[in-house]
Structure formats: C-alpha cells, structure tokens
Structure 1
Amino acid sequence: MRLARLRVDGSSLPDGALWARADGAAWVPVEDPFAAFARGEAPADLAGAAPVEGRFLAPCEPLLVVGIAQNGPEHHSPVQAWLKSPRTVVASGVPVALRRDAGVPAIEGEIAVVIGKDTEGLTAANAHEYVLGVTAVNDVSSPDRAMLDPRNFEGKGGEGYTPLGPWIDTEADIDEVPMTVRIDGVERVSTGTWDLPASIRECLEYVTRWLRLGPGDVIMTGAPRSNFSVEPGAFVEIEVAGMVLATQTH
C-alpha cells in the first residue's frame, strides 16, 4: 500500500491534512495508519469518503530523525548513529535553500524507514514487524563543517535539509530496497540495501538498543555510494522502491 499525507482544500482536519492510500492514480482517504498498525491491520477507508486531490506533505511528522553514520561500501566501522532535527523535514518538491556559509553542500540519497509502533522488544530478526514502511530521503548536508562540527549539528542543520517522501510504501521488503539518484536528469548511481555494510535490520536493532522510537519516527539508513556535491540550482531526484523524491535547490 502507498500511504501519503495530503493537504486538501476544504478539509476539516488541522492544516487541511489527511491520510490517503493510492488507488491507481487516485488517492482515497483512510484512517490514521499508525492506529491501524497498532491493531495489526491495514488502515481502513474513511466511510463515505470520495477520492481526493491535494498537495503532498511530508509523509509523516517524526519526533525523532535518526541518521546512520558511515553506512556505505567505503566504510567498515561499527554501526553508529546521530540525530537530525525533525524541523528540517520538508515534503517532496519543496525548494531547499543551500547554505552559502558552510562550504560545498552535498546531497545524500538514502532509504528511510518509518517506524509504525513503539519499538520495545525490537530485534534484528523481528525488525520488520515494527516498520510501517519505507520512503525516500535526501539528507542534505554541509560536509565541510565536519572538521569543526563532529556532532553534525551545523553540517546537518540547514532549513529544509531533510526532504522526505513523497509517500510511504508499506509493502517494501526492508531487506531488498532499490535506490537511484539522478541530478539534473542524469543518473549518478543505482544502488540499494545490498550496498549497505550494516543492514536495515542491524541499524534498527542498534538504534533501539539505546533509544526507544515510536510511531512516525524516521531512520535514515545510510548513503550507499549516493553522496554527491551539488551547486545551487541542482534538481535532485531520489527514487526508492519506485517513488521519486524531488528536491530543487537554490
């Protein structure tokens, strides 16, 4: 199932936001998918609701965004993690202003995992049971700050530096997720979970051993050969499990 948050004109919900599932090219309003996930069910259609049109919002509102450090083919360190402010999360298509005071900016195409329920009891073996689904994320960064900023506060803190979406794929296999990164229409890498030294399951087990997560929290699982320097004006597309996250920089 593809699940999205849409801003719909005339909706009675806060900010006009509602959950919807894809039905071909249409979007059908559904109940809160996290409440349904807690029951072990797919979200039910809202009674009497007709298909809607609207603008994609970020597909969830995380309280925590966790990044996995050095999880690419060139790194062989033990799994490590860091935190990124959820206030940097924006929807697909939202323009992102690259900082001019922090060196050469970079984009990192990553597979993002959306947690479906409280992670108490999560292990590598049962990790899939706690995952609502996967989505695409662009971990925009200022890597030149790393020498002075080893905690990633400055390097990861730009306004809108976490484009996320456009929807959540609840049927993706967390053990085998493909990803492609294109910049200005040119494919730069075709990769996926198979290029991650630490699997998504291992990442989830590590993070939740130190920090309990909850519904809507996001783990960015690392950049498998998908880190590229960019200039203002670059148009970045990150395709994960068939969905395309678009970021226009300026």
Structure 2
Amino acid sequence: MRLIRFATKGYDRTGCVESTCDGDIVRAYDPVAGPGAVVGPLADVRLLAPCDPRTIVCVGSNYPCQVEEKGRPWPEQPALFLKAPNAVIGPRQPILHPPEVERLEYEGELAVVIGKTARNVTAGNAAAHILGFTCANDVTAHDWRADGQWARAKSADTFCPLGPWITTGIDAGDLGLTTRLGDRIVQRSGTGRMIFGVGEILAWVTRWFTLHPGDVVLTGSPAGVGPMKPGDEVTVAIDGIGALTNPVGLRT
C-alpha cells in the first residue's frame, strides 16, 4: 500500500494511492478503518511529506563505497546524528539554498517510517515496529558541517525532503537506489550493500531513543554525494517505493 499526506480544498488529509486502468487515484485513508471514499486522481492533489515526525535519526557512513570514497574508518556501530522536524518538506517543494553556503549537497537515502512505539527493539523484531519506507534526501550544507556547525548544516529549513509516499508491506533489504541531478545519475547503489541493515540500525537507535509512530530513521547515503545549486532538480528513486523530486531554489 502507498500511504500519503496531501492537500486539497484548503486542508491536509491522509490517503492511499490505488492503481486503476485509468491511472492512479487517491482514496481517503483511516489507520483503523482502512481505505475509504475516492478523492480523485493523484495528479489533482498536492502531495505533502508522507509523515510528520517529531524525531528524525540519521545514520552516517553506512555504505562501503562512501566510506572508501571519503577515506573514513570502517564503522564499528551505526554513527548517529539528528535532523530537526522543521527541515521536513514534501515532493516538489523547493530545497532552499542559503546564499552564504558555497556547497549544498544532496544525499539520497532510504527512510524508515515507524508505525509502533519502539524502544530497545532487537534486529529480529524490528520489522514489527515499521510502518513502511519512503525516499529521503539528507540535504547538507557542507561548509557549515566543515566548521563544526552540524545543527544548521543538517537541520536548516527544507533540508529533509521525504516522499512521495510510505510504501508498506515490502522487504527493504535489497532495493536499488539512484539519485539524479537533472537527467544525470549521480548516485547508484542498493540497500543490500548497507553496512548495517534496517534491523541492526533500529536495534541500535532504540537503545538511546524511543521512537514513536511517524518518526523517521534515515539509513545512510552511498558514494557520489555532490553539490546542487539553485535551478537544479534532484530526484531520489528507490525500487519498489517511488521517486522523490525537489527543485532547488535560493533562500531569501
């Protein structure tokens, strides 16, 4: 199932996307009752970020290709950092490039969306706490990270695009991941190449953080991280999930 948040007629709603012979349509969705009445074609609604997390935990250096590319030591456990909820935006919303930043980077990633309160889970039972998966772009102001300002480097407004929806009922253990800058593929890997898998990550994270429904865990980015500038368009696509596209604009 593809779960969405969307805006229509001046207010926000939750829904699900259903494929028909005439194209994708949106139905109202209730977590208890399930799918409801047809809202209309998917093309007629404005997609929002598919969840509204209060906690966003991220993993760094989780692909061998990036560890090698950056010359970093091999991680002994998942390296964690946080992004703030104010950074979240949805599909087609612009990533705002601060004018004082010289290098703003894209980082395509698999995002895990929590469905059930998770504390001290194990790798073996982590799946029971997952609602589904979506695409993420861990936008990073390289200049600010380099000078030690990690909070603003990772959590400025618009620095956490999520979407286009939460895909449920899939195994995210070996999905192809690509990032495109315009028409050019700049990252290509697969979730099966992660150093720490989803279960291991959630077991580690929930030792320290209690995660609640709607919270998000970003699982790391492969090699190929690079700069983007106003006028660019970035797409993070994951097989079996979908594609998240955001234009890049200038923050004023």
- TM-score between the two structures when normalised by the length of structure 1: 0.88
Q: Name the residue aligned to 2:109.
A: 110
Task: Single out whichever of 59-68 and 231-240 deviates more from structure 2.
Answer: 231-240
Q: Distance in 2 between matches of 1:112 and 1:140?
A: 13
Q: Distance in 2 between matches of 1:177 and 1:115?
A: 19
Identity %: 30
CA deviation string 1:48-80 (max 9, x = no partner): x23334210110000011111222214321212
Instruction: Tell me the amino acid that sits aligned with residue 60 of structure 1.
Output: C
Partner SS for 1:206: helix
Query: RMSD across aligned C-alpha pairs, in angstroms?
Result: 1.6
Contact 1:179 1:238 in 2 (8 A): yes
Partner SS for 1:202: helix
CA deviation string 1:67-102 (max 9, x = no partner): 112222143212121111011100110012112213
Q: Name the residue aligned to 1:174.
A: 172
Instruction: Tell me the amino acid that sits aligned with residue 18 of structure 2.
Output: D
Q: Distance in 2 between matches of 1:230 and 1:120?
A: 37
Partner SS for 1:201: helix
Contact 1:113 1:133 in 2 (8 A): yes
Counterpart pick for 2:191 among 193, 199, 223? 193
Partner SS for 1:249: strand
C-alpha deviation, 1:216, in angstroms: 0.1
CA deviation string 1:102-137 (max 9, x = no partner): 331100000000000100352111111111000001
Contact 1:4 1:20 in 2 (8 A): yes
Runs ≥4 in structure 1, deviation > 3 angstroms? none
CA deviation string 1:188-230 (max 9, x = no partner): 2321212211111111111001111000000110002252222
Q: Name the residue aligned to 2:201.
A: 203
Contact 1:140 1:156 in 2 (8 A): yes
Counterpart pick for 2:39 among 24, 27, 51? 51
CA deviation string 1:124-151 (max 9, x = no partner): 111111110000011111122223216x
Q: Distance in 2 between matches of 1:172 and 1:189?
A: 22
Unpaired runs of 5+ residues, structure 2, are: 68-73
Q: Name the residue aligned to 1:97.
A: 96
Q: Distance in 2 between matches of 1:139 and 1:120?
A: 24
Unpaired runs of 5+ residues, structure 1, are: 10-14, 37-42
Instruction: Tell me the amino acid that sits aligned with residue 238 of structure 1.
Output: V
